[in-house]
Amino acid sequence: MRRTQTIAAALLLLLTLAGLAPAAVPDLTPEERAWIRAHPVIRISGPQAFPPFQYFDDDGEFKGIASDYLRHITAMTGLKIEVAAKQPWADILQKVESREIDLLTCAAITAERAGYLAYTQPYLSFPLVIVSRKDAPFISGVESLQNQRLAVTRRNSTIEWLQQDRIRVVPRYVDSPLKGLQEVSLGRADVAIENLATATYLIEKHGLANLKIAAPTSYEQYSLAIAVRRDWPQLVGILNKGLAALPQEKHNEIRQKWIAVRYEHGLGVRDIVAWAGLVGAIAAILLAVSYFWNKRLVHEIRRRHKAEVEKERLIGELRDALGNIKTLHGILPICSECKSIRNDKGYWQRIEAYIEEHSDADFSHSLCPKCMEKLYGEEDWYADARRAIRESDGAAANPDGGPGVRQ
């Protein structure tokens, strides 16, 4: 029993010691070790304001994820480093090209730099995202950036990638990613393109509350590698072996120290509310227009129906009026002597009665001069009346008393 306990305790001690054991040493060749001895100090630099990857803090210390990786690798390989003074990124690239600086702790791989830089395997990779103000229009990707004002550091690889994709932007050059985000925050630029880790770190640390991760880019992962002057391929091999020798726990430890990323690409609640409000307003306007149009249409239909009814009424009255009009037409059989008319039933009627029945005319009876002469010409009263009329006509023709002239 005691022997079993002793063995268990020994196994526990071995496991504990194994957990505390240092990282594996890179398997360097004699030539690589000789190269290290021949180059005891490596002059390094990197992005000056690119947190959390690489930057100078307020105390002038060169720190970040890339610095932590490089310190672990140099500790394993025996390399010594010397940090170059703080200076603009464009000047750093120029000094690497002229071999005044030997190594960049982290850099994007671009065709422009391939002529004077050699790269290790990428060891950091994050999505490259578009940052805009929260009140900016919706952005779906880099194709939405045509003619937009882009905040970007000089000699940044982003411009080269956009030009390859024929995306025309108006660059607004800044000295650092932080300055770029501040330009966007203040409205002096429309967008900035940064990797997700840097953008999130700077937005949270500097309280740029009016900015958001608007969209991913089509460049997907933003990969960073250690860049070395091109005439030192041996150093590239040594660094790759150092990166490979780091255990996964050490990778996790370095990254968790610096990065706590919250990726919120897409439409936020405020965006959704704004779009919902806009859609709702448009829908309300359409409904209002539809309502008033339908109301007007109903009114027009009623008006036309009323007019149609009135027209039908008038037509009916006209038909009734036409029906009441009595018109005489055709050949009327009339007696040559008594002037009676035979109706359509075969009976003879006095002409007055027939006309009154078949029209709206009425008759009043009198005698024409011829008939009066015929009927009363032999009567004395008629002769006296006729003589008086002639004398009266003569006096009217000669009012001065002279002899009248009869026509």
Confidence of residue 133 (pLDDT cuts 50, 70, 90): very high
Q: Does 134 share its domain with 195?
A: yes
Alpha carbon distance 121, 118 (integer Å) = 10
Per-residue pLDDT at 351: 76
Is residue 402's pLDDT more than 70? no
Q: Does 311 share its domain with 365?
A: no
Q: Does 207 share its domain with 140?
A: yes
Task: State which amino acid sits at residue 293.
Answer: W
Confirm whether 118 is domain-assigned: no
Confirm whether 391 is domain-assigned: no
Alpha carbon distance 247, 226 (integer Å) = 18
Give the pLDDT confidence of 272-296 residue by residue, as tens digits: 666 677 777 888 888 888 887 888 8
Which of 302, 325, 348 terminates a domain? The answer is 325
Per-residue pLDDT at 323: 60
Residue whose C-alpha is closest to residue 227's, from 38, 29, 87, 44: 44
Give the pLDDT confidence of 59-116 residue by residue, as tens digits: 999 999 999 999 999 999 999 999 999 999 889 999 999 999 999 999 988 888 989 9
Q: Under the phi-then-psi rule, with left for phi > 0, alpha for psi from -120 to 50, and beta for the rest, what region is 21? A: beta
Q: Does 212 share its domain with 176?
A: yes
Query: Can you give the residue range of the structural domain that contains 340?
Result: 330-381
Q: Does 133 share its domain with 185?
A: yes
- CATH number of the domain to which 137 belongs: 3.40.190.10
Q: Does 136 share its domain with 206?
A: yes
Question: Structurally, how many domains does the chain consist of?
Answer: 3
Q: Does 217 share its domain with 181?
A: yes
Token digits for 276?
Answer: 């919902």
Q: Does 161 share its domain with 147?
A: yes
Alpha carbon distance 384, 392 (integer Å) = 12
79 close to 238: Cβ distance less than 8 angstroms? yes
Confirm whether 388 is domain-assigned: no
With a CB cutoff of 8 Å and minimum separation 6, the contacts of 83 are: 44, 45, 62
Alpha carbon distance 97, 115 (integer Å) = 9
Q: Does 130 share its domain with 218?
A: yes
Q: With the CA atoms of 193, 220, 124 and 148 taken in that order, what torsion angle do they form, in degrees rounded to the nearest 10? A: -10
Q: Does 211 share its domain with 133?
A: yes
Three-state secondary structure call for residue 257: helix
Q: Does 359 share its domain with 310?
A: no
